[in-house]
């Protein structure tokens, strides 16, 4: 998989998005409609910088009143479904909790988070990885915490990305380690409209699931599997044929 | 370095690509001394496995010498000779701990794609599409091996490459096929396909107590190897009206106790259902051609076991589930948990219980690999198994195109009659 960057234009400006691209080889020539379907699939399936994309839109110059109005209007229409996903990790919950609670560690497995700084007193400052140098930052605070069991957080007012969430660590009932469960609500600061917002929230769910999977990789093996940087023969220059 | 790269169906090219580098701390880089073309590579060659990309480096059955080790590699060092399982284990997850190595939770960087297709992701595999990680394979001068302490098995000094090369795939795959067949002492084992995996399944069936082995194929040299090396009774399916009836008659009405589908998704047959599959697969309405699977279900004795080492990739059609259910069959299948078998089978080779080199018919340099794929796919030149020597006779060094063609066991001068479009292999 590799990351590809594209742009979309909206009346208010241009948005940059990132998606991961994988070829699906089908031997027969595709019709245009199946190609379009696959583009659609690609957009649905792959995770993107969804959080970051949301934030990037939020980061438009505040003078853009249209954007502001749109944001307000659509935020009501867009009751975001909470994201909930879980993974079982073959390590004791105390170890997992301790690693997570040290927020500086999170960028090691959260693909779209560049840096987290613990500000003390349960507060933290987050910097998102954003395409084309958009700086996406927000502050969060712990709203509830049970040592070794769970952490709940919420972004603070004035943040570019609004999100609340809880991560819990429970012993697996059948002795397979720890069930790590993440529940999150992201966004509603989204001028793109309900349909797109819905699609994005599904992408975001995928992203959270991927982050949890990388957390598992890192905790169980000490590394995250990768093929980035391995050799390959000549690739297609422009990957029109197989966008998925 | 030079590497065999997939460029589309039936389009393998030997290309110059960058050398592999250590990407994670538990990786090693090995210099490939021998690599095989596997029957399952033919599914990629023919374009039936999705998520291949132009430029992907092929090869999942290989061995070589460690040239560089990452900082967290504990058990291997430069100079060690290792054979590498085709499936990549992490050694730590629940599945690896249970020795279900091909189901490792931590080795597939593209697990998300596999989950969409299969519900859950299996292990990463070398050179076998991006669905299973997109790892560069071993039909190259060098390759990277992740989690090297887990995936690199040292080879004893004094054992030739060709004695141990197949421990990376086909020998364990044949052995697990026999194990999965639940052979009880004296059982009759029927093996569909007489390709390399099936040949090892036949050998393994005897090791596990079979009383009788019946092998089914149509290529004379493969049937002959099953007869001579494998001591199997054979059925040429083109010479009989019905494989199912023939097996029933041969077993006094019972049917074989254990049936092994060593063919998989590109089966050939002479019956109506096989023609139906070919048409449907050609129209992309069916990904796999499960002719053998159907035949094995119908042939298997009541309460028997069906073991499937042949690769299936997607969806199959017209499976006689009613027959399987009402006859109370057991199905066992899956990619091989290679790591489980490497050491025990290595011991059998060391003791002289089996000579794996018997399946090798062709040896060649990397540059001849594209032609080798075609020869193997079309069963030309009596081809059963091809071994590639990426560094010629073994003394070549970095970045040089020294691919001295090795002498094959057979005379390459005479070519068999055209074998048409047939691809019965594993």
Question: What are the tokens at B229?
Answer: 């090396």
Q: What are phi and psi of B165, to 5 degrees?
A: -55, -40
Mutate to test the interface with A, among B20, B53, B144 (most CBs of A within 10 A): B53
Chain A positions touching B21 (Cβ under 8 A) are 229-230
pLDDT tens digits, one per residue of B360-376: 999 999 999 999 999 99
User: A210 at the B interface (CB within 8 A)?
Assistant: yes
pLDDT of residue A237: 65
Q: Does the pLDDT of residue A8 top 50, yes or no?
A: no
Low-confidence winner among B151-165, B205-219, B240-254, B390-404 (lowest mean pLDDT): B390-404
Give the whole-angstrom CA distance, residue A52 versus residue A56. Answer: 6
Q: Do B92 and A223 touch (CB under 8 A)?
A: no
Chain B positions touching A23 (Cβ under 8 A) are 51-54, 130
Mutate to test the interface with B, among A207, A223, A224, A226 (most CBs of B within 10 A): A223
Q: Does the pLDDT of residue B408 top 90, yes or no?
A: no
Mutate to test the interface with A, among B93, B130, B399 (most CBs of A within 10 A): B93
pLDDT of residue A135: 67
pLDDT band for position B398 (cuts 50, 70, 90): very low
User: A177 at the B interface (CB within 8 A)?
Assistant: yes
Q: Does the pLDDT of residue A51 top 90, yes or no?
A: no
Tell me which residue in A209, A221, A227 faces B134 most closely, judged by beta carbons: A227
User: In chain B, whose CA is at the least distance from the CA of A211?
Assistant: B112
- How far apart are the CA of B371 and the nearest CA of chain A, in angstroms? 18
Q: Does the pLDDT of residue B77 top 70, yes or no?
A: yes
- How far apart are the CA of A16 and the nearest CA of chain B, in angstroms? 23
ipTM of the complex: 0.88
Tell me which residue in B47, B92, B133 faces A221 most closely, judged by beta carbons: B92
DSSP structure string for B51-89: S--TTPBP-SEEEEEEEEE-TT--S--TT-EEEE-SEEP
User: In chain A, whose CA is at the least distance from the CA of B19?
Assistant: A231
Q: A153: closest CA among A123, A128, A179?
A: A123
Dihedral sign, Cα of residue B99, residue B100, residue B105, residue B109 = positive
User: In chain A, whose CA is at the least distance from the CA of B141?
Assistant: A231
Indicate the average pLDDT of chain A.
71
A139 compared with A56, residue with greater pLDDT: A139
Report which secondary-structure segment, H or E, holds B29: strand B28-37
pLDDT tens digits, one per residue of B114-170: 999 999 999 999 999 999 999 999 999 999 999 999 999 999 999 999 999 999 999
A208 compared with A238, residue with greater pLDDT: A208
User: A29 at the B interface (CB within 8 A)?
Assistant: no
> Which phi-psi region, left, alpha or beta, contains residue B306 (left: φ > 0; alpha: ψ -120 to 50)?
beta
Average pLDDT of the residues in A152-158: 91
pLDDT of residue A82: 81
Chain A positions touching B109 (Cβ under 8 A) are 1, 224-227
Most confident of the following: A50-54, B284-288, B305-309: B305-309
Average pLDDT of the residues in B386-397: 72
Q: What is the model's pTM? A: 0.83
Q: Does the pLDDT of residue A29 top 50, yes or no?
A: no
User: In chain B, whose CA is at the least distance from the CA of A2?
Assistant: B110
Q: Does the pLDDT of residue B266 top 90, yes or no?
A: no
């Amino acid at each position: 998989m590799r990351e590809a960057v594209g742009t979309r234009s909206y009346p208010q400006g241009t948005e940059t998005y990132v998606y991961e691209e994988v070829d699906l080889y089908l031997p027969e020539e595709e019709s245009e409609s199946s190609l379009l379907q696959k583009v659609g699939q690609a957009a649905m399936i792959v995770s993107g910088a969804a959080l970051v994309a949301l934030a990037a839109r939020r980061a438009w110059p505040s003078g853009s009143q249209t954007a502001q109005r749109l944001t307000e209007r659509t935020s009501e229409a867009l009751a975001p479904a909470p994201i909930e996903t879980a993974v079982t990790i073959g390590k004791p919950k105390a170890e997992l909790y301790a690693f997570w609670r040290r927020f500086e560690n999170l960028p090691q497995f959260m693909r779209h988070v560049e840096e987290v700084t613990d500000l003390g007193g349960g507060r933290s400052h987050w910097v998102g990885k954003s395409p084309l140098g958009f700086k996406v930052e927000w502050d969060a605070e712990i709203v509830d915490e049970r040592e070794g069991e769970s952490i709940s957080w919420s972004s603070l007012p004035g943040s570019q990305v609004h999100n609340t969430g809880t991560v819990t660590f429970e012993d697996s009932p059948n002795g397979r380690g720890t069930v790590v469960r993440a529940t999150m609500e992201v966004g509603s600061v989204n001028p793109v409209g309900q349909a797109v917002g819905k699609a994005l929230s599904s992408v975001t769910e995928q992203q959270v699931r991927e982050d949890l999977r990388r957390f598992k990789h890192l905790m169980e093996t000490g590394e995250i599997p990768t093929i980035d940087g391995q050799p390959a023969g000549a690739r297609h220059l422009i990957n029109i044929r197989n966008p998925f | 370095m030079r590497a065999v790269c997939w460029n589309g169906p039936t389009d393998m090219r030997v290309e110059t690509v960058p050398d592999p580098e250590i990407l994670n701390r538990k990786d090693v880089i090995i210099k490939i001394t021998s690599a095989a073309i596997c029957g399952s590579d033919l599914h990629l060659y023919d374009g039936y496995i999705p998520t291949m990309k132009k430029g992907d480096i092929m090869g999942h059955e290989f061995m070589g010498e460690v040239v560089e080790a990452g900082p967290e590699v504990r058990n291997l060092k430069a100079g060690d000779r290792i054979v590498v399982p085709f499936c990549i284990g992490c050694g730590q997850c629940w599945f690896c701990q249970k020795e279900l190595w091909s189901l490792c939770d931590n080795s597939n960087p593209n697990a998300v794609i596999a989950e969409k297709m299969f519900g859950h992701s299996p292990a990463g595999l070398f050179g076998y599409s991006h669905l299973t990680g997109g790892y560069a394979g071993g039909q190259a001068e060098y390759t990277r091996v992740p989690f090297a302490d887990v995936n690199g098995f040292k080879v004893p000094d004094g054992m030739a490459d060709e004695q141990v090369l197949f421990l990376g795939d086909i020998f364990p795959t044949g052995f697990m096929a026999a194990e999965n067949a639940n052979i009880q002492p004296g059982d009759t084992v029927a093996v569909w396909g007489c390709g390399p995996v099936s040949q090892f399944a036949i050998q393994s069936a005897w090791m596990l107590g079979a009383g009788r082995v019946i092998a089914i194929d149509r290529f004379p040299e493969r049937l002959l190897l099953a007869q001579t090396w494998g001591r199997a009774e054979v059925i040429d399916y083109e010479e009989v009206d019905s494989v199912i009836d023939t097996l029933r008659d041969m077993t006094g009405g019972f049917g074989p106790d254990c049936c092994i589908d060593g063919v998989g998704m590109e089966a050939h047959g002479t019956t109506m259902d096989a023609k139906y599959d070919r048409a449907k697969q050609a129209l992309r309405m069916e990904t796999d051609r499960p002719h053998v699977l159907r035949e094995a279900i119908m042939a298997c004795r009541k309460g028997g076991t069906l073991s499937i080492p042949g690769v299936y990739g997607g969806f199959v059609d017209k499976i006689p589930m009613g027959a399987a259910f009402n006859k109370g069959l057991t199905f066992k299948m899956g990619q091989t948990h290679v790591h489980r078998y490497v050491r025990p089978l290595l011991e059998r080779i060391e003791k002289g219980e089996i000579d794996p080199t018997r399946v090798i018919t062709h040896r060649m340099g990397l540059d001849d690999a594209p032609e080798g794929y075609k020869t193997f796919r079309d069963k030309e030149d009596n081809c059963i198994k091809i071994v590639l020597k990426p560094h010629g006779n073994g003394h070549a060094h970095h970045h040089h195109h020294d691919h001295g063609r090795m002498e094959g066991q057979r005379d390459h001068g005479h070519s068999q009659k055209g074998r048409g479009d047939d691809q019965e292999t594993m």
